[in-house]
Amino acid sequence: MRAYRFLVTGRVQGVGFRAYVQAEARRMGYTGWVRNRRDGSVEAVVAGLDSSRADFFRQRLQHGPGMPERVHFESAEAPEGDDFRIESTY
C-alpha cells in the first residue's frame, strides 16, 4: 500500500485542522494519522492513495481551516492500523 507524508505550514494549529484532515481522510477511505508538531506545523501520514490522489489530497489540505501556506508531500512508509487517527504532538 502506498503512503505519503504531508507537512503543512502556516496558521494550522488551534483552528481544527487536524480534525479536518482526519475527516477528509476517513471520507476518502484512507488510513494513517495526523499530529501537531512543536514548530507550529501539522504532519500527516496517509495510506491508500496513488500519486494523483495524493496531489488531490494536498489540494484539499491547502484549502483547510486556518491559513495553510505550504503543503509539502513525499512518499512514506505506510503506517499500521485500519483507521485514521489524531496522534499526540511531536
Q: Which is the catalytic residue, given 11, 26, 36, 58?
A: 36
Q: Which is the catalytic residue, given 2, 5, 18, 60?
A: 18
Mean pLDDT of 6-14: 98
Q: Can you say how many angstroms the Cα of residue 46 is from the centroid of all Cα atoms in its chain?
A: 6
Q: What is the pTM of this model?
A: 0.94
Distance CA 69, CA 33 (A): 21
* Percentage with pLDDT > 90 across the chain: 91
Domain boundaries, the chain: 3-78
For the domain with range 3-78, which CATH number is right: 3.30.70.100, 3.40.640.10, 3.40.50.20, 3.40.50.300? 3.30.70.100
Backbone angles phi, psi at 52, to 5 degrees: -70, -35
pLDDT at position 11: 97
Q: Does the annotation count 58 as an active-site position?
A: no
Does residue 27 contact residue 75 with C-beta atoms inside 8 Å? no
Beta bridge partners of 53: none
Q: Does the annotation count 36 as an active-site position?
A: yes
Task: Reduce the DSSP state of residue 57 to 3 states and report it.
Answer: helix
pLDDT beyond 80 at 65? yes
